[in-house]
Structure 1
Amino acid sequence: MASGKKALLATVMAASVAGMPHLLWAPAYADDYADLLDVLRAKGSLTRHEYDTLLAKHVHHAALAAEPHATHAVRGATSGTRTAVAHAGHGAQAGYEPGIRFDAGAEANDVSLRAEDAATRAEASARSAQEAANALNSGNFVRVAKYVPGKGLTFKAGPIDINLSGFVNGFYTYNSPAGGRPIAGGVSSGSSGFDSSAVRNGLLPAGFVLKMNTVQQGMDISAVLGMYPGLDNAKPAAFNANSGGSPVGLGTAGIDLRQVYMTFGNKDMGTFKIGRDLALFASDAIMNDATLLSVGSTGSNSAPGNTSLGRIGVGYVYADWIPQISYTSPKLGGFQGSVGIFQPLDEFGYADATNPTAAKTPSQYSAGASQHSSPMVQGRAVYDFSVSDLQVHIWASFLIQHMQGLNSTRPDGSTLLGEDQHHGAMVEAGDIGTKLTYGPLEGVAYYYRGSGLGTTGLFFDGVAANGRKRSSEGYYVQGAYHITKKFRLVGSYGVSNLYLAGGENTAAESALGSAGLVRRNQSEVGAAYYQMTDWLTVIGEYSHTSSAAHGGGKESDNTASGGVMLMF
């Protein structure tokens, strides 16, 4: 190949001189420079276009250098041309690459060829990209989406996104009772009479949430399963895995399967949800409560259950996880609404269940009900907007449920509800709250009121033993300051009040006496949160909790907690 190129070089030089008879010609064969170009081309260091361009320039310069020998070139022009042609023919037979030209149109032809080649390559690349996309969507490939701290791991299997997220926490908690008398329905442990230590969960247990999402016929469809195990031994009772614990050897932790639901819809039509999930009423209250990531009021610290109370019962009524069929509207200028029907819950005598003197009490504090011909109805509305650098989140929600078949009996089995008394009640409740964020400052204010709603949990002591509804209300205020991006201080104060129904009084000897029934639960909380990494947050907290009864009894306690929350 090299000899053919050298011969071609000689041919071009000869032809150039033959066209100019006034120049002398001296035979010019390929020199060391041409040899170097051949070697670089053979090794792939030069493209064909680069090789042709450099060789053409070299030939041009060689022709200019040959002008002093024009006289000799004229004499040998004829024979030189024949020799060059012969060399060219030999070079072609020796395998010189076809298609290389050094005429005036060579560069234009090469540009055309390169453009055609680029178009062919682009078409092939597009085909390859489409084939790759089809292969990824076929489900034969599993890939991992970019990780976002706190949003879990997302695996993409064809058209399905599989997300695994969760959290784990653990706290050392020291509770010191400040004394007092036991309060039926109170959340303070002040009357326990002894200090207690525990290694336990905070308001949140551990959590592992599996979500599967896909898009079919223009609808976003998802399925969610949430598993929430605790650290301490479970002791099944009225509240299942959330009952008080059992610190006895050979025990096992409880698993709270509180989430299992599906959704379908899109941003234009809204979203439907069917299954078990957090209810609408009071959901924003707990989701904006800082103690969600810490301990707050312990409830029981000597035998801890899956969770502490946080601010449940001392600022709001627990929203709970309830089977539902609900609908959430699209967002319209920051506004979004939700409404749904929910599994109706029983009216429950929490004060009777927690009354330490129940065997001596001549009457029952609260009525019960377990008949439901209609569902519970809940609704919620939120509005988000900003004013300059101030971010505002406002919410309001409501709850309605008809209680039927109310019953109330004395310890001896006799009934407290006669035929002429109320055997049904319509429970109603509403709340409103706001969260303000301005730079490093955050503030939350919340208020609720209910008729028959009760306190601490939904329908706990909401109806008196005589069948009449009790009113209740509560609130909490919370402030937070980010000293640095990772370090935050929080302080909060909250109260839950339960009022007597008509016909009740505080006389202990009365058949409807409610002297020991809780009137007020309240707490003050101060906490520090330091985000050590994207996953780990270190938490230190102090809380003071107190309960007061309608008859004047009181109890209070103090709790110090320290621990770590991991979220992924």
Structure 2
Amino acid sequence: MASRKRALLLPVMATSVACAPFMTAPSALADDYSDLLDILQLKGSLTKHEHDTLLAKHLSHTAAASHAEPARAASRPVRTASATAAHHAAKGAHGVSSGYEDGIRFDPGAPDAATSRAELAANRAEASARSAQEAMRSTNEALNSNSIVRVAKYVPGKGLTFKAGPIDINFSGFVNGFYTYNSPAGGRPVAGGVSTGSSGFDSSSVRNGLLPAGFILKLSTTQSGIDMSAVLGMYPGVNNAKNGAFNANTGGSPVGLGTAGIDLRQVYVTVGTKEVGTFKFGRDLAIFGSDAILNDATLLSVGSTGSNAAPANTSLGRIGVGYVYADWIPQISYVSPKYHGLQGSVGVFQPLDEFNFAGGDASGRALSASSTQHSSPMVQGKGTYDFTIGGVQTRIWASFLVQHQQALTSPDLDAGSRRGAMVEAGEIGTKITYKGFQGVAYYYRGSGLGTTGLFFDGIANNGRKRASEGYYVQAMYNFTKKFKLVGSYGVSNLYQAPGENSSLLVRRNQSEVGAAFYSLTDWLNLVAEYAHTESAAHGPNKESDNSASGGVILLF
């Protein structure tokens, strides 16, 4: 009976054994082999390229073996149980099935040894990761160390900024030089006029424009939540300096062994926060008239030359022919935060003397009163509004100036008269920008303000205030990103005081300026300019001149 059962089971067992390798071996071996490759790559024993190459070969051989197995199974004879066992024994002794690539062998080793190698590889990988993280942490700490000086990304025209710990150090500036040819058109002298027409001689010069050179150092930091900065601005000229009432800005001295003048215009600190606003202490550009000069295109060229035969640190630009010079004045001032485009500023300033700029008449008698006594400061304030409508960017500003002049002196007054005057002035202006076009319109009016400079010829000999007013209009168009043309016209008027009759005193200064600018690089700009300047007195005297200038200005 037992022999009959064995006879019946043998064909079934033989069929099962013959089919078993075809049904299970390839997929099992493929899974084991793929997992092994993944583990070796994860532990760093194989590169990704090596992993992908071996896996591709393995899958290729497995697929070929899978297609070939049914044909071999159909042709091979049915094995007995003993033959099947012998085959598996031989296969186990060989160690690897014939489905793998010849020459590649894997020794799984003892389970404990394989586990140890995997754990060792994992520990090494973990240690390597920790080392990399520590190196990155150390690098970040070193970069953020106060002992490391870093350089911020450079923005053309904004200077070079270095960061040393919590301190930002910005160094910016500009340098320019122009050849200017001035041709007087004739006329008779005007006291207080800005034209050189009555000089009678053409003049050539190599000089600065309205700007001298400038080197500005600014240190900024935040301490205890307070933003603060310190600024030092040095403005040297290229021409020889000459001692005089205007120091480095006095007319030059073109003789051998001369030296250039240095104008330390800016020395101040700022303290504030974004929420409270900013306070300024020191010497800087004043508030009244600042927008007028900063928006003047002749700031980057020459404009009216002033003295061209003996150039000072700067030309006049449009000073005295459209606005009164704002000047660099010791101050304690405040600028508010900007709210919906609105911003205000106000300050107290070192009071300035009333000055006789016009000089004397034919007999040498002074034409204007002077003063040197001040018991109260000058006060200036300004409001600005910035907005954009339909792509048109607009700024509107308005400001005021007040100062009490005391103890006026003149040929008609003496200090004992204790005569004084309250000087008052106001201004309004606007600037619009639309695509390549930019336009500026500006107007000022003063009582005792004078013309050209603050309190120049503002009060007559009789102690009465002279009224003054002026304006300029300017248009600029950028034809390309590099090339632009500018045209401007400006006038400054000075009226006589009640009861005064001074025929030599300037009544009107005016000029027309046209200029072309070409940006050769981010730093270097080429400039060509023509300017016509006229001065007229309250009497018959008039004079005019023409000047042509060409040169470069570099800003960094």
TM value normalised by structure 2? 0.83
Deviations 1:404-455 (A, max 9, x none): 121124xxxxx63485x56211111110000111222221110001111111
Q: Distance in 2 between matches of 1:220 and 1:124?
A: 39
1:545 aligns with 2:525: no
Instruction: Name the structure 2 match of 1:375.
Output: 377
Quick check: 1:24–1:74 contact (8 Å CA) kept in 2?
no
Instruction: Name the structure 1 match of 2:87.
Output: 76
Which of 446, 457, 476 is residue 442 of structure 2 equivalent to? 446
SS at match of 1:76: helix
Quick check: 2:318–2:490 contact (8 Å CA) kept in 1?
yes
Q: Distance in 2 between matches of 1:526 and 1:331?
A: 35
One-letter code aligned to 1:380: K
1:156 aligns with 2:124: no
Quick check: 2:108–2:114 contact (8 Å CA) kept in 1?
no
One-letter code aligned to 2:473: V
Instruction: Name the structure 1 match of 2:154.
Output: 147
Instruction: Name the structure 1 match of 2:99.
Output: none
1:416 aligns with 2:413: yes
CA change 1:222–1:132 in 2 (3 A) is: farther
Deviation at 1:43, TM superposition (A): 8.3
CA change 1:130–1:549 in 2 (3 A) is: farther
Instruction: Name the structure 2 match of 1:427.
Output: 423
SS at match of 2:251: coil
Deviation at 1:80, TM superposition (A): 4.7
1:280 aligns with 2:287: yes
Instruction: Name the structure 2 match of 1:13.
Output: none
274-283 vs 530-539, greater mean Cα deviation? 530-539
Quick check: 2:379–2:401 contact (8 Å CA) kept in 1?
yes
Instruction: Name the structure 2 match of 1:475.
Output: 471
One-letter code aligned to 2:156: P
Instruction: Name the structure 1 match of 2:102.
Output: none
Q: Distance in 1 between matches of 2:212 and 2:17?
A: 101
Instruction: Name the structure 1 match of 2:268.
Output: 261
SS at match of 2:216: strand
1:436 aligns with 2:432: yes
Deviation at 1:300, TM superposition (A): 0.2
SS at match of 2:292: helix
Quick check: 1:206–1:229 contact (8 Å CA) kept in 2?
yes
Q: Distance in 2 between matches of 1:383 and 1:119?
A: 61
Which of 488, 493, 499 is residue 497 of structure 1 equivalent to? 493
1:328 aligns with 2:335: yes
Deviation at 1:45, TM superposition (A): 3.2
Deviation at 1:120, TM superposition (A): 10
Where in structure 2 are there 5+ consecutive unaligned residues?
A: 1-15, 97-104
Quick check: 2:494–2:508 contact (8 Å CA) kept in 1?
yes
Instruction: Name the structure 2 match of 1:484.
Output: 480
Quick check: 1:422–1:467 contact (8 Å CA) kept in 2?
no
Which of 516, 519, 523 is residue 531 of structure 1 equivalent to? 519
Q: Distance in 2 between matches of 1:93 and 1:119?
A: 26
Task: Provide the aligned length of Structure 1 versus Structure 2.
Answer: 509
Q: Distance in 1 between matches of 2:349 and 2:342?
A: 23
SS at match of 1:212: strand
Instruction: Name the structure 2 match of 1:14.
Output: none
CA change 1:61–1:483 in 2 (3 A) is: closer
Quick check: 2:358–2:457 contact (8 Å CA) kept in 1?
yes
Q: Distance in 2 between matches of 1:125 and 1:338?
A: 53
One-letter code aligned to 2:331: Q
Deviation at 1:549, TM superposition (A): 1.2
SS at match of 1:351: coil
Q: Percent identity?
A: 63
Deviation at 1:219, TM superposition (A): 2.5
Deviation at 1:389, TM superposition (A): 1.8
Q: Distance in 2 between matches of 1:524 and 1:395?
A: 24
Deviations 1:152-181 (A, max 9, x none): 111122222211111111111000111111
Q: Distance in 1 between matches of 2:84 and 2:61?
A: 16
Deviation at 1:94, TM superposition (A): 13
Instruction: Name the structure 2 match of 1:214.
Output: 221
SS at match of 1:191: helix
SS at match of 2:156: coil
Which of 402, 407, 415 is residue 409 of structure 2 equivalent to? 407
CA change 1:407–1:392 in 2 (3 A) is: same
Q: How does 1:108-123 map to 2 (within 5 A)?
A: none
Q: Distance in 1 between matches of 2:432 and 2:164?
A: 40
Please give the root-mean-square deviation of Cα atoms over the aligned residues, in Å.
3.6
Quick check: 1:384–1:393 contact (8 Å CA) kept in 2?
yes
Q: Distance in 2 between matches of 1:55 and 1:140?
A: 56
198-207 vs 531-540, greater mean Cα deviation? 531-540
SS at match of 2:299: helix
Quick check: 2:407–2:418 contact (8 Å CA) kept in 1?
no
One-letter code aligned to 1:416: L
SS at match of 2:271: strand
Deviation at 1:50, TM superposition (A): 5.8
Quick check: 1:348–1:459 contact (8 Å CA) kept in 2?
yes
Instruction: Name the structure 1 match of 2:299.
Output: 292
CA change 1:82–1:447 in 2 (3 A) is: same
CA change 1:329–1:292 in 2 (3 A) is: same
Deviation at 1:199, TM superposition (A): 0.5
One-letter code aligned to 2:262: I
Deviations 1:264-321 (A, max 9, x none): 2222111111111110001000001111111000000000010000000010000001
Deviations 1:482-531 (A, max 9, x none): 222221111111111111112211xxxxxxxx221111111111111111
One-letter code aligned to 1:394: I
TM value normalised by structure 1? 0.81
Quick check: 1:271–1:328 contact (8 Å CA) kept in 2?
yes
CA change 1:241–1:418 in 2 (3 A) is: closer
SS at match of 1:75: helix
Quick check: 1:23–1:73 contact (8 Å CA) kept in 2?
no
Quick check: 1:21–1:74 contact (8 Å CA) kept in 2?
no
Q: Distance in 1 between matches of 2:94 and 2:433?
A: 91
